[in-house]
Amino acid sequence: MRLSFQYRLYPLAVQVPCLQAHRSELAFLWNHALAERCDAWTNEHRSIHYLDQQRLLTRWRAYDSDGLGRLSVRVAQDCLQRLDLAFRAFFRRVQQGERPGYPRRRREVDSFTFTPHRHPITRSRNGTWRLKVPKVGELPLRLHRQLPPGAKVKTVTVRYEAGAWFSTLSLEIPDPAPPPREPPHAAVGVDLGLTHLATLSTGESVEPPRYFHVGEARLRKEHRRLSRKRRGSHRYLRQRERLARAHARVRRQRQWFAHQLSHDLAERYDLVAFEDLNAAAMMEGNPLAKGLADAGWGRLREMTEYKETLRSGRCLRVPARGTTQECSRCGRCADPPLKLRDTAYRCPCGYQGDRDVNAARNVLARGMNLLSEELRRSSAEVKRVESRPTRVLGGRKVYQRRRAGSRKREHGIEVGAPFGLPTWTVRLAVPIP
């Protein structure tokens, strides 16, 4: 399983210029590679791909030894790969009939990624933790939590965000046990909303914390101040930095809160059901609030999902249609339908309760239905496998079959599955260790 861990970096004063140089040099490389692709197409109708550019990279680096040559090859290659990804995404979306934007020139690149050869975090002699970055050196970092046991660092991304440096470590950890094939011990349904951030089927409701409002008020103020400065002036640029910091602060606060809430849900329940709602289709609230809430909901669901996976629990998404209107006791639809201002749910069957709690209970019921169906299907599958008659083979044939099977496992890799494509096996000349 893949997990990512973030740590704040505290580069030394002598390291900062080198890190900043990475941002501008990578932007130069990006723009150069982009221009080359465009020129090749407009002049010669020839498309250039990543591998062509990777070959050229050696020459570029030799030619520009004071600039590009000072970057690590791995970092430069990653930049070209990202450009390639941008082009692929562009062409894919064109094929799908969308109208995407063409990959753009960049003034600065905010992050760079590399694949470490060895474990990149070390402890220095005075007891502080350091992150090894090629061609930059050892950057001090705050190791606010240890890496999980058995984790292998696959890639490291160094990121600049509003005056601060961060590192993201993408880890490969041993797969946690799959959820047990039995009904959950504690299950909960969650209704996401705008007035209450989340309402649980137990009746609890989660309010947005006070600092959300404080942060947003500050954002508004900084935006207003920026609009009063002359574009491009020193004060304008300084104010832009200040605004970026305020945005980053709010973003981190929201993220922190989503972590707390999802942790709490994952710790208390081994099944959490969310509505699979499409926030863009919701008409309530102003565009800003909608955007913020949208991001918050998506993040909360994603965080809960991976935290449940780590704990061998389940996090389900259920169809959202009608969860507000149905009665959670008898299943009848509200007549007349509930309006946005109605806060209580009353049903002719006698059920009476908060409208959001009613919705959360519906979400939970749908989640349980989904799960029981899944369990029934998987147990039927297990039975089918068990009841299949085993063929008794002997001697040479078994040996050959076993040999063939083991060779396939050793020499083949499965391709396609992670990208949602049909799986097939590719034979490799060299066995994978």
Q: Which residues have a catalytic role annotated?
A: 191, 275, 356
**Which residue, 15 or 324, has its beta carbon nearer to Zn ion?**
324
Give the nearest distance from C-beta 352 to Zn ion in angstroms.
9
Give the nearest distance from C-beta 362 to Zn ion in angstroms.
11
Using CB under 5 A as the binding rule, whether residue 327 contacts Zn ion is answered as yes
Give the nearest distance from C-beta 284 to Zn ion in angstroms.
25
| Cα–Cα dist 326/334, whole Å | 6
The 3-state DSSP class for residue 362 equals: helix
Q: Which stretch binds Zn ion (CB under 5 A): 158-166, 260-268, 326-334, 361-369?
A: 326-334
Give the nearest distance from C-beta 329 to Zn ion in angstroms.
5
- What's the farthest any 2 CA atoms get from each other in the chain? 87
| Cα–Cα dist 2/26, whole Å | 27
- Interface residue with Zn ion among 329, 370, 374, 375 (CB under 5 A) is 329
Q: Is 187 left (phi over 0), alpha (psi -120 to 50) or beta?
A: beta
Give the nearest distance from C-beta 356 to Zn ion in angstroms.
16
Nearest to 48 by CA among 34, 62, 61, 58: 34
Site for Zn ion (CB under 5 A): how many residues? 7
**Which residue, 350 or 394, has its beta carbon nearer to Zn ion?**
350
**Which residue, 259 or 329, has its beta carbon nearer to Zn ion?**
329
Q: Is the separation of the CB atoms in 100 and 88 below 8 Å?
A: no
Own/partner long-range contacts of 201-209 (Cβ < 8 Å, ≥24 apart): 201/357, 201/360, 201/361, 201/363, 201/364, 203/354, 203/357, 205/356, 205/357, 206/261, 209/253, 209/257
Q: Is the separation of the CB atoms in 362 and 323 below 8 Å?
A: yes
**Which residue, 288 or 333, has its beta carbon nearer to Zn ion?**
333
Nearest to 202 by CA among 189, 215, 211: 189
- Interface residue with Zn ion among 289, 330, 340, 426 (CB under 5 A) is 330
**Which residue, 332 or 402, has its beta carbon nearer to Zn ion?**
332
Site string for Zn ion, 344-363 (x = CB under 5 A): ---x-x-x------------
Task: Provide the binding-site residues for Zn ion, judged by CB under 5 A.
Answer: 327, 329-330, 332, 347, 349, 351
